[in-house]
Amino acid sequence: MVEASVAAGVKRFLPGEFGSVMNDATSKLPVFANKVEVEQQLEAYAREGKITYTYLFNGPFLDWGLKMGLVLNMAQYKPEIYDGGDNLFSTTTTETVGKAVRAILDHYEETKNRAIFIQDTLISQNKVLAIAKKMTPGKKWETIPMDTAEMKAHSDANVENGVFDLNTMYAYLFVANFGKDKAYGAHFQKLDNELLGIKEKTEEEIEGIVETYLPKN
């Protein structure tokens, strides 16, 4: 797609970064290998003046992540909690990501050949769980503790043995987004919300999002 875009004279390419920031730590995780390759290709073409790019990093999708049980698996009221659940991570709804893409094109020069960081909120798994518990009085929640260091070691062993199944790759996503190792940059230290005209969600709005994806039983 990058090569075809260059050949067609496309001016700006936004690769599918959406999620974890590609820093020194995350770029070494096998699940992100294709992203790293695309970045290297884009940057090479950009140096030749053949295309421009913008990387949009938004952390895990909050709404879709709750729907799919990734941010907090609320099915059966038994969520997996990673490394204690207090680790803060930047997260953004899919709607806000769409607005950010549009805003990037409206701020063409300011977003040229650089990474953009946005978030709807900074939150932890335990904070999401607290909201869910508040909205489900009388329900018994049972948390399942998970250790991301052990998960990574298991996935690394699988990759070394040529196993690249979904569970192996997904484990790296949990390591990067919810683990205690701050090297993965899940907590964005500098945001571009103001540049793109994006306001963070209020507490009430976050509660409404969580409520939408609570178990129905």
DSSP 8-state symbol, 61 = B
DSSP-assigned letters across all residues of 145-158: EE-HHHHHHHHHHH
Identify the three-state secondary structure at position 72. coil
Give the tens place of pLDDT for each residue, 142-195: 999 999 999 999 999 999 999 999 999 999 999 999 999 999 999 999 999 999
Kindly tell me if the per-residue pLDDT of 124 is higher than 90. Answer: yes
Give the tens place of pLDDT for each residue, 75-104: 999 999 999 999 999 999 999 999 999 999
DSSP 8-state symbol, 49 = T
Kindly tell me if the per-residue pLDDT of 217 is higher than 90. Answer: no
Domain 2-210: CATH class, spelled out: alpha beta
> What is the Cα–Cα distance from 142 to 34, expressed in whole angstroms?
36
> What is the Cα–Cα distance from 174 to 190, expressed in whole angstroms?
22
Question: Which pLDDT score, from 0 to 100, does residue 25 have?
Answer: 96
Identify the three-state secondary structure at position 215. coil
> What is the Cα–Cα distance from 15 to 53, expressed in whole angstroms?
8
pTM of the model: 0.94
Distances, alpha carbon 189 to alpha carbons 106, 124, 128, in Å: 24, 15, 21
Query: Cβ distance 82 to 148 under 8 Å?
Result: yes
> What is the Cα–Cα distance from 51 to 46, expressed in whole angstroms?
5
Give the tens place of pLDDT for each residue, 25-72: 999 999 999 999 999 999 999 999 999 999 999 999 999 999 999 999
> What is the Cα–Cα distance from 176 to 22, expressed in whole angstroms?
10
Instruction: Indicate the domain borders of the chain.
Output: 2-210
Question: Which pLDDT score, from 0 to 100, does residue 216 have?
Answer: 87
Instruction: Find the length of the chain.
Output: 217
